[in-house]
Structure 1
Amino acid sequence: MNNANEMNLEQLAIAVKEALQAKGQMMATAESCTGGLIASTLVDIPGSSAILAGGIVAYQNEVKENLLDVPAEILNTVGAVSAETVKAMAEGARRKFGCEWAVSTSGIAGPGGAEPGKPVGTVWIGVANSLQNEAFCEIFSGNRNQVREKSVYRTLQVLLEKIVQKSTCTSEH
């Protein structure tokens, strides 16, 4: 398999599909700023129904709360563009769709919407499975569409890294 840093978006989506298929696992998406682009990118790949259970575009906070079970307290204290929110979104999607994996995004694609400490281009990415739930922050340059496209690429890149990651635990028998 090619290095995830050298793949184009289609190759990356195919690699994610193949990695999930090899493990017999499925995934779901919970997207805010990417508006369904992650799910769409995966659906572009023939046979993606073998690995993609579904996705939720949760643009409004009420949708994040009601469909993905993101606590209102998180949204009211740290906001939608935060590690806590994308972790809750990913876990909510994982549970709702009954999948091993879920990814989530929430960010400020621009051109407006910047907040103190959260410039335009700030995107939080969540990746969860039954064993871990992690969040990553990226600040992407470019216009609205470029920020969204870069977010999709980085989300799939992180997901692929997590799927193929070898355990560092050892056991002695």
Structure 2
Amino acid sequence: MTSPAAEVLRLLNVRGETLAVAESLTGGLVAAEITAVAGASQAFRGSVTAYATDLKRDVLGVDGTLLAERGAVDPQVAAQMAAGVRKALGANWGLATTGVAGPDPQDGCPVGTVFLAVDGPLESVSAELGGGKVAALRLNGSRAEIRMESVRSVLALLLEELAGEQTGNERAQDTEQNGGT
């Protein structure tokens, strides 16, 4: 069975598109999952682990007023992180994770509060936020479990977008790989 990361990379390669990742609570786990797949460099541009709030602002371009008013655990912050990493690393798609893995609440949010975002080509993303889509999760479990479920969920969010936008080019390539039938 193909891993979600392998399927993401396969779809990106078929489309000739690239991916960049901005991570906070996952601390590099999304990038590690992607780069565990052989050949990831064909589609994966890189990642920014912006654990500190000032990095979200200074490196990823998240609005400083938004961060000051709402904190880093916020759906708009996730959306701006995804858009920011996409722009900063020159990718077609950007992913972002922000939230509270524990053990303590943060920014008034309980442990298990997670926001994930996908930002992509405007015509490809079904969203209210311009070119992005945000998912809010309330997860239970240990710190490690919350972080791993966040990785799984953000890859699933991107897969949903990519699979929903399969192009004729991909179908043609699939047919070619299946003996031209």
Q: Fold match, TM over 0.5?
A: yes
Counterpart of 2:175 in structure 1 is: none
Q: Does 1:14 align with 2:13?
A: no
Report the Cα distance in structure 1 between the residues aligned to 2:121 and 2:52, rounded to whole angstroms.
26
RMSD: 1.4
| Residue aligning to 1:122 | 113
- Structure 2 contact 22–49 (Cα < 8 Å) conserved: yes
> What is aligned with 1:58?
50
- 1:94 pairs with 2:86: yes
Q: Tell me the percent identity.
A: 34
Aligned-partner Cα distance in 1 for 2:133–2:25: 18
Q: Distance in 2 between matches of 1:46 and 1:98?
A: 22
- In structure 1, C-alpha distance between the alignment counterparts of 2:137 and 2:50, rounded to whole Å: 20
The equivalent residue for 2:150 is 151
Q: Work out the CA distance in 1 between the residues paired with 2:104 and 2:119.
A: 29
Name the structure 1 match of 2:16.
24
Task: Flag structure 2 segments of 5+ consecutive residues without an equivalent.
Answer: 123-130, 167-181
Q: Could you tell me which residue of structure 2 aligns to residue 4 of structure 1?
A: none
2:140 is aligned with 1:138? no
Structure 1 alignment gaps of length 5 or more: 1-6, 168-173
SS of the residue corresponding to residue 136 of structure 1 reads: strand
**Structure 1 equivalent of residue 178 of structure 2:** none
Partners of 1:42 and 1:123 lie apart in 2 by 20
Amino acid at match of 1:121: G
TM-score calculated relative to the size of structure 1: 0.87
| Displacement of 1:29 | 0.3
Deviation at 1:135, TM superposition (A): 1.1
| C-alpha displacement of 1:164 | 1.6
SS of the residue 2:118 aligns to: strand
The corresponding residue for 1:170 is none
Deviation at 1:113, TM superposition (A): 2.2
Aligned to 1:46: 38
Alpha carbons of structure 1 residues 114 and 78: separation in structure 2 relative to 1, 3 Å: closer
Q: 1:114 to 1:75 in 2, by over 3 A?
A: closer
Which one-letter code corresponds to 1:54 in the other structure? G
Query: Does the 8 A contact of 2:70 with 2:107 survive in 1?
Result: no
CA distance in 2 between partners of 1:55 and 1:46 (Å)? 17
Q: After superposition, what is the alpha-carbon deviation per residue over 1:50-99, rounded to whole angstroms, capped at 9, x for unaligned?
A: 11100000001111011101111110112110111011100000001111
TM-score (norm 2): 0.84
Q: Give the conservation status (yes or no) of the 8 Å contact 2:98–2:114.
A: yes
